[in-house]
Structure 1
Amino acid sequence: MNMLAEKVVQPAINAEHLAYCPTMDLIAFATIDDLVHVHQLNGQKVFGVSGKQSMGSVRSIKWKPNGQIIAVAFQKNILQLTNAHTGKVVHQIDCTSHSQSQICCLGWSINSTSSQSINLPMRGSGPDISLENLLSRGKRSNSTDELPDLPSDLAFLDVEAMLPKLSSLASGGAEDDIFSSRPSLDSIFQPPSKSSNEAADILVVGFEDGTIHLSIYDFFEIGSLNLNMASQRFQRCKLLNHCAHPFATTHAMLVANEPASQADLFLVPLDLRLISNAGRYLSLLASKSTQLHNVLRYVQQVQKQMYSEFRSSQDLPRRFMQNVEEPLQKDLDCTWIQAAFHLVVTGACSPQVKEWLVDELGERGHKRWDKAVTTGYETIRRLAHESLLPALERLTVLLSRLRGLSKFQDSNTALGLSTQELDNVLDTTASLQLLTHYIMIAAGAELRGFSAFSAWLRHEIDIQSTEPGSSAGHEAGERDNNIDHASTLQYIRGPMKQSRLFSLFNMDPSIEDRPLWDLNAEGRSLYELYKRELKNASEPGSPEKQLPGLDALIGHLDSQCNAVFAGIAATQKRNIRLGSPVHLGQIIPACIDMRMLTDVGLSALHAGKNTDTGCFKDSNGTNLFSVYIALVARSEDNIVKLFKVALKVENGMSTTESVKFAVIHPSPGRVQDVKFVDDESIMLAIIGEASSYLVNIKYRQSNEREGLTYANFVLGKTTSEESIPDKMSIDLARPSPLLLHSFPKDPGWSPERMEINGRTGRRAICVLAQDALRYRVYDLDSKANNGEETMEINDD
């Protein structure tokens, strides 16, 4: 094999946390100081993922099947999802609500939600097309003879792409940085592709206590269930590994049950009937719900920034006015508002006010006051106009899409949507849009009033700073004609005393004594009630009622959306089932790998067989899949045990058809790691007496001479020598076509861990040395230079 690259890493790599991106030449690994680094093959660092010190050590890393996101689980049950293109944290999930035990395993898969979307590309494809390539195709058909699916095209019409892009927000912390740059925003709110419309990605998080948590589309949570539900035999069980097939509604989980010193291994099917029940609308439901969740987070962040900007714009004027309040109260028994009003009307300035204007405020203080208030009002108007209103419009479009799904056929039972709940959310969104317009109007009016007040204040500072009767005082007095006294007086007795934005933001302490408006008790349209109360609040003499401000309305919107999400999640969770466990024996595995394949060859599809009933079905319309499990036991590190579990999936329910067993015995040496390369071959990393080896074996073609021989697996009998199937013995001392690569005797460079990218056209393997300071990447499709390579990249 040709060596593509070598990298020397400081500090050392944690061998348990190494992952090769499935779609790009990116290698992710965690070092012993619990930092996750993502490197290109040439050794250049692309980005890093580092959690806060309170998150603890790294527990697991996993790439999304499309390579767009990498998930990193930390010791304190914090799961970070980072975009592979921007290096920004897309979402941070606190998993402590799901389980108090630590995360032990991550599984991520993409499942097709439409059999038609699979059949059409298959009809015009060659016989060597891989399953992974089908989901990456943008077009649903390669033939011009195929008619477009008009109902499906209308359902998946991307209306959101026509809306204006959301504006980036100021950085407000580590988690808030996801909205602070254009690339990050584009990655979060990117329009869905055709392939994503016909598939749903499912994230499985496993915990030490046997809890598994499922999410769709990165972080749309479905719910949690415990593996104890699968069998009464399960006591202390945990998830070890996970695999799935793009076109299967059943996932496979390898579970360890540890009631005694030696672990019992089980294969537990996870039947996701929600894929078959919701069909192609599952991806639409999950994607729109995820987008709705993202927009809601954006709206909440805009509200926080508007609140922060207004609060900071009022702090400095409040401190300035407090400095003059004490002497005015002590000597004249009046407030600054009364003194300022008196000064504008009469022109008579008290000694206390003059001293404050000249000695404490002055020209510098006035500039700071003017800049703080002007910037605050302008920022509030900009955030309301450029960020909040467009986000609410996008929210309305997404809610309308979900409302359309709720009114379509029996979606209330299949999808878990409630038309009434969505109508209530739309009503609250309309109220928020109305309130945002009132905020913009109030901010604009108060900014104009403050501009007049600021001009008058600067005029008074100039007058009081000059001697009476001087030429400078005479010139300052002549500029009095440019002062808008009416607007100044209106600002002093209005916004300066109490800005209306305080009540619109729910920051006015005086509203606590008014009658409370219970949002949940209002039976009519919230929008109509809100419009009436806002109109009455602007009329003098009307009874004051506590209006829900921006934060209260957004909180109400959040609770309503969470109710919608909970309804969807509860419906989909009812369609999740744990199948019957398959006992594989008492084994403490040193290394394991899993892969799920279909038992119906692709050639049958190209021949046109059963394309009307589904891709991978037999003559009875039943889906047939096989789960391959390769493992090496700690007690027998010189052999590889390979299990083949045949599953029959019918109507989303799986049953075990058969369990077969094969053994690979390389000698001399011990097996350090084992990984599936693709749908045909498996790779073994073997440490021998004089050298270390990489061995490639065909595990599916049982009829060929170099293939494996499988025998029926019977628990308890496979331990006896006569019941073990014919071992595939490999003599490493002799040349063999199975021997793909050999390493010279080197204590530091014996292979410790492998990660393989088996995608078509770019099959590569990353081998980590036992010193954990170096890794090498080899081209699996290259047959040249079977010996050790000499190219080295020492890039720090």
Structure 2
Amino acid sequence: MADPLKLEVLSQKSLHQTADPELLTYCPSMDLLAVASTDQQVLIYRLNGQRVYGAAQKGSSLQVESIRWKPNGQLLAIAWSDGSVRLIGAESTKIVHQFSTGNKVTGVTCMGWASNLTSRKRNGDDSKKAPGSWGEILDETSDSWDKRSPLDLPRDLALIDIETSLPKLSVLAAGGISDDVFSSRSSLDALFRPFDPKDNDAVDVMVVGTREGQIHLTIYDSFVVGSFESPVSFDGEPCHLVLHAANEQYSTHGLLMKSSVATETLFFVPMDLRFISASSEYLSLLASRSTALQNLLRYINQVQALMTSEWIATRELPGKFLRNINETLGERGNRNIVQALYHSVATGHTFPEVREWLVDELAERGHKRWDKAVTSGLENLKRLVHQNMLPALDRCSVILSRFSGIAKFQDTNDTVGFSSQQIHHIIDIVASLHLISSKILIQVVDEVELFAAFSSWLRYEIDRLASDSSSSTNEDTNEKEASINHSKVLLYLQTVMTSSPLSVFFDDTAENPKEALPEPQPGTRIFDQVDQELQKLEHGLPYVKNLPRVDLLCHVLGQETNTVFSQIADAEKRNVLFGKPHALGIPQHGTPMAMRMGKIEDSLGSSYVAFIPQGLFMEVFRVTFSIENGISNVQNIDSTAMELGDGRVKDLRFADDNIMLVLWESKGLTSLLSIPYRAKSISLRTDDLWLKFPNHHPVTDTINPTIYENKEVLALFSKYSIPTEDSFVPEKIEIRESKARGGRLNEDNRRIVVLGKDRLKYKVFGYPSYQAQKVPNEDIPMS
């Protein structure tokens, strides 16, 4: 027997707070370790120990229940005790998404995040069949025409990457009413990542189990499929999810449920996601673009709120100044400030009340405040429309055009959950918002120019009235007056100062918000109605006041898109099936458990579950299931058990499809055991050092574990040794298996994280291949 391979220490870190041993996870694509402390902080560290991110619920009693990386490592999901799940970016560390798993959730018991290949990808390597680029297809000299499948123009058009040609969305101001996720370039890029045609081969699925036993499904980061009641109950009480396993080759997921009663019996339940296996090839595009559309609506709503805020800012301070002088003029005559200022501009004469207001109350300081409030407000409004709202609406149009194409060209057997008529109605609303935003932009540009002329004249009038009548002063005032465009000043007074045309787009005129917009007339597009009302407004005719309002149109847009999202979710939810639950046994309370799903054949898979039953031995279950048309059928459940000397199992993990790592302590010394658990073929070889699974019922039959002495345990299974020191005693392990889609392993990027017994220090080790771990020729019975 070769000496154990000593693992290389890549990193070690001493923590300031005690870590929760159950909340430790390594990023699958980057050297980032996420850990939650007992004071409810979530921290992310680089391999060199540098802290990247820290989050805590200040002033809240919420607890961190689970943390999980997205399969590609771009996001980290944090589940809280109120059932909310927050997704933060690995690079931006901003809250990218947030959703709730239910209204009355008292805790999250498990969270899994897996990637499933679509049926189109699983059925073969499409790279050999796909028509390739259109330039290659149109090349008459190409000799590969007969090697290609028939062209699918709708599919290829749907997968064309248009969004990269659109201008990037601009960041929004941080704080206030703005969502922080839109306040940085990195978070925006992460949130609005263009659709990559490579992503059309897989669907990311998040499974969250609650303490009440519900199973909550989400795909593509934040697109909620829905919640399901617990698929198994015990003694009348719903069981809750404790472990989740999936394999990218199957649309069937494995759920390990545990009863809430004193016995805490474990049940294996298959969950079939037929919306993946039986879906059209547009599922990935549909789900990912639905998520992108949801993000765009969040962005548009934030922009609309900021636009309204800037509009209010342009009117608030001037309104205070104007109310004061209007009250004075009303008491002393039958005129208002507009008439009085118009008189001053036209005749050069200023009424005594206006002179007193300009010189004593408004003065230079008041004018500067007025000018700054209006100018900055209008410039910000112009920027929000031009750089934020219009580009976001353009992106909505592109996504909705894809939805329209999917609805139009879907197969008769496919149900995407919405119709082309619904999408056209939403496109109409987006077009209406685009029209109104363009009108706002034109009016803002005009108002900026008119106010600049008015502001110059107002400052000139204040200086003239406050100065003496010296000749030098008169020369200066005459020169300033010559540069003023009096026609624009008069136009501003008549059309903007007290009743801006922009008010029709922002002012709240609806008495009942629920009935804010009129029902569209039969056969009439909402865009046509909005256009007609705007034309009436421009010609001074009576119009429907609520139709041009930006906030109401945004509200209607959200309602209509939410209807489509719910219909898509319902169509997918109907294709989620739970299989029959199978009891596995009763684990010893507080002992570790592990679960993994492996592939045997295209239509045959297996799930392995390992835990410590009531005793000193370890038991491993193998659940073999077949899959036909996306529906699984459990063929067999068998188990084997082994007693590892007089030591105890501190932790266990399935390292890959063949090896299980066990942290084993005996006589004060902790060893890392590497136990082969799965043969590479369906028929188990009798001369291999693999766990043998006898054909018996795992619950009713008596289990006779294979007993190993301590020397045998170390000789057979101690393939790796952890460099230890007196102050560091290994207690928990976490494994990062760096695996790309398609099952390829990257040996150089595999990591093992070991948390010390004091929970204040962890070490990261490289986990290379062990050549001596090949199957030996000796026959060593294991059951």
Q: Scaled by the length of structure 2, what TM-score is found?
A: 0.88
C-alpha deviation, 1:735, in angstroms = 4.1
Of the structure 1 ranges 39-48 and 678-687, higher mean CA displacement relative to structure 2 is found in 39-48
- Report the secondary structure of 1:663's partner residue: strand
C-alpha deviation, 1:544, in angstroms = 5.8
Return the alpha-carbon distance in structure 2 between the equivalents of residues 179 and 508 of structure 1.
26
Q: Which residue, out of 711, 715, 725, partners 1:731?
A: 711
Counterpart in the other structure of 2:256: 254
Q: Determine if contact 1:231/1:580 at 8 Å carries over to the other structure.
A: no
Return the alpha-carbon distance in structure 2 between the equivalents of residues 681 and 479 of structure 1.
86
Q: Determine if contact 1:709/1:725 at 8 Å carries over to the other structure.
A: no
Q: Which residue, out of 749, 757, 765, partners 2:728?
A: 749
Q: One-letter code of the match for 2:642?
A: I
Counterpart in the other structure of 2:563: 563
Q: Aligned pair in 2 of structure 1 residues 173, 17: CA closer, same or farther (>3 Å)? A: farther
Return the alpha-carbon distance in structure 2 between the equivalents of residues 342 and 63 of structure 1.
69
- Report the secondary structure of 1:53's partner residue: coil
Q: One-letter code of the match for 1:553?
A: L
Deviations 1:15-49 (Å, cap 9, x if unpaired)? 12100111222111011221111112221122233
Counterpart in the other structure of 1:667: 645
Counterpart in the other structure of 2:135: none
Return the alpha-carbon distance in structure 2 between the equivalents of residues 565 and 749 of structure 1.
51
Counterpart in the other structure of 2:68: 62
Deviations 1:582-640 (Å, cap 9, x if unpaired)? 1112334521111101113xxxxxxxxxxxxxxx1xxxxxx10100011124x43x322
Q: Aligned pair in 2 of structure 1 residues 2, 261: CA closer, same or farther (>3 Å)? A: same
Q: One-letter code of the match for 2:641?
A: V
Counterpart in the other structure of 2:776: none
Q: Determine if contact 2:9/2:765 at 8 Å carries over to the other structure.
A: yes
Of the structure 1 ranges 519-528 and 591-600, higher mean CA displacement relative to structure 2 is found in 519-528
Counterpart in the other structure of 1:215: 218
Q: Aligned pair in 2 of structure 1 residues 175, 239: CA closer, same or farther (>3 Å)? A: farther
Counterpart in the other structure of 2:372: 371
Q: Determine if contact 1:681/1:699 at 8 Å carries over to the other structure.
A: yes
Q: Aligned pair in 2 of structure 1 residues 744, 754: CA closer, same or farther (>3 Å)? A: closer
Q: Aligned pair in 2 of structure 1 residues 454, 7: CA closer, same or farther (>3 Å)? A: same
Q: Which residue, out of 705, 711, 714, partners 2:694?
A: 711
Deviations 1:41-94 (Å, cap 9, x if unpaired)? 221122233345337121110011111110001122221101112222211223
Counterpart in the other structure of 1:463: 464
Q: Aligned pair in 2 of structure 1 residues 391, 120: CA closer, same or farther (>3 Å)? A: same
Q: Aligned pair in 2 of structure 1 residues 543, 408: CA closer, same or farther (>3 Å)? A: closer
Return the alpha-carbon distance in structure 2 between the equivalents of residues 570 and 378 of structure 1.
44
Q: Does 1:537 align with 2:517?
A: no
Q: Does 1:201 align with 2:179?
A: no
Return the alpha-carbon distance in structure 2 between the equivalents of residues 501 and 512 of structure 1.
22
Query: What is the Cα-based RMSD across aligned positions, in Å?
Result: 2.7
Q: Does 1:678 align with 2:617?
A: no
Counterpart in the other structure of 2:82: 76
Q: Which residue, out of 153, 159, 162, partners 1:159?
A: 162
C-alpha deviation, 1:571, in angstroms = 0.6
Return the alpha-carbon distance in structure 1 between the equivalents of residues 524 and 11 of structure 2.
67
Deviations 1:69-122 (Å, cap 9, x if unpaired)? 10001122221101112222211223344x433222111110001344663289
Return the alpha-carbon distance in structure 2 between the equivalents of residues 284 and 201 of structure 1.
12
Return the alpha-carbon distance in structure 2 between the equivalents of residues 115 and 539 of structure 1.
57
Q: Which residue, out of 719, 739, 753, partners 1:766?
A: 753
Q: Does 1:700 align with 2:703?
A: no
Return the alpha-carbon distance in structure 1 between the equivalents of residues 512 and 259 of structure 2.
57
- Report the secondary structure of 1:731's partner residue: helix
- Report the secondary structure of 2:60's partner residue: helix
- Report the secondary structure of 2:643's partner residue: strand
Counterpart in the other structure of 1:105: 110
Q: Aligned pair in 2 of structure 1 residues 204, 158: CA closer, same or farther (>3 Å)? A: same
C-alpha deviation, 1:340, in angstroms = 2.0
Deviations 1:487-507 (Å, cap 9, x if unpaired)? 2222123211111212112x1
- Report the secondary structure of 1:60's partner residue: strand
Return the alpha-carbon distance in structure 2 between the equivalents of residues 471 and 585 of structure 1.
102
Q: Determine if contact 1:29/1:38 at 8 Å carries over to the other structure.
A: yes
C-alpha deviation, 1:319, in angstroms = 2.4
Deviations 1:544-563 (Å, cap 9, x if unpaired)? 64434001001111111001
Q: Determine if contact 2:510/2:546 at 8 Å carries over to the other structure.
A: no
Q: Aligned pair in 2 of structure 1 residues 646, 782: CA closer, same or farther (>3 Å)? A: closer
Question: Percent same amino acid at aligned positions?
Answer: 37
Of the structure 1 ranges 199-208 and 88-97, higher mean CA displacement relative to structure 2 is found in 88-97
Q: Determine if contact 1:274/1:572 at 8 Å carries over to the other structure.
A: yes
Q: Determine if contact 2:645/2:707 at 8 Å carries over to the other structure.
A: no
Return the alpha-carbon distance in structure 2 between the equivalents of residues 437 and 180 of structure 1.
24
Counterpart in the other structure of 1:131: none
C-alpha deviation, 1:177, in angstroms = 2.0
Deviations 1:141-194 (Å, cap 9, x if unpaired)? xx9996477425443221222222222222235971222222222222222334
Q: Determine if contact 1:214/1:223 at 8 Å carries over to the other structure.
A: yes
Return the alpha-carbon distance in structure 1 between the equivalents of residues 423 and 468 of structure 2.
68
Q: Which residue, out of 614, 627, 632, partners 1:649?
A: 627
Q: Does 1:625 align with 2:605?
A: yes
Return the alpha-carbon distance in structure 1 between the equivalents of residues 122 and 636 of structure 2.
30
Deviations 1:683-722 (Å, cap 9, x if unpaired)? 001122131111111001353443212123425434x3xx
Counterpart in the other structure of 1:611: none
Q: Determine if contact 1:668/1:732 at 8 Å carries over to the other structure.
A: no
Counterpart in the other structure of 1:316: 317
C-alpha deviation, 1:321, in angstroms = 2.3
Q: One-letter code of the match for 1:758?
A: E
Deviations 1:360-411 (Å, cap 9, x if unpaired)? 3222321221122112112212221222111111111110101110011336
Q: One-letter code of the match for 2:241?
A: L
Return the alpha-carbon distance in structure 2 between the equivalents of residues 47 and 175 of structure 1.
21
Return the alpha-carbon distance in structure 2 between the equivalents of residues 752 and 443 of structure 1.
65
Q: One-letter code of the match for 2:529?
A: L
Return the alpha-carbon distance in structure 1 between the equivalents of residues 336 and 518 of structure 2.
36
Return the alpha-carbon distance in structure 1 between the equivalents of residues 509 and 580 of structure 2.
60
Counterpart in the other structure of 2:180: 177
Q: Determine if contact 1:60/1:74 at 8 Å carries over to the other structure.
A: yes
Q: Aligned pair in 2 of structure 1 residues 677, 512: CA closer, same or farther (>3 Å)? A: closer
Q: Determine if contact 1:91/1:175 at 8 Å carries over to the other structure.
A: no
Q: Determine if contact 1:4/1:777 at 8 Å carries over to the other structure.
A: yes
Counterpart in the other structure of 2:578: 578
- Report the secondary structure of 1:278's partner residue: coil
- Mapping for residues 236-635 of structure 1, pairs under 5 Å: 236-258=238-260, 260-332=261-333, 334-410=335-411, 413-468=414-469, 471-473=472-474, 475-477=476-478, 479-505=480-506, 507-509=507-509, 517-519=517-519, 523-542=523-542, 545-589=545-589, 590-600=591-601, 616=602, 623-633=603-613, 635=614
Return the alpha-carbon distance in structure 1 between the equivalents of residues 699 and 575 of structure 2.
35
Q: Aligned pair in 2 of structure 1 residues 146, 63: CA closer, same or farther (>3 Å)? A: farther
- Report the secondary structure of 2:564's partner residue: helix
Q: Determine if contact 1:661/1:725 at 8 Å carries over to the other structure.
A: no
Q: Determine if contact 1:14/1:29 at 8 Å carries over to the other structure.
A: yes
- Report the secondary structure of 1:319's partner residue: helix
Deviations 1:288-342 (Å, cap 9, x if unpaired)? 1111111211111111111111111222212222343343333445433333223
C-alpha deviation, 1:737, in angstroms = 5.0
Q: Does 1:114 align with 2:105?
A: no
Q: One-letter code of the match for 2:249?
A: F
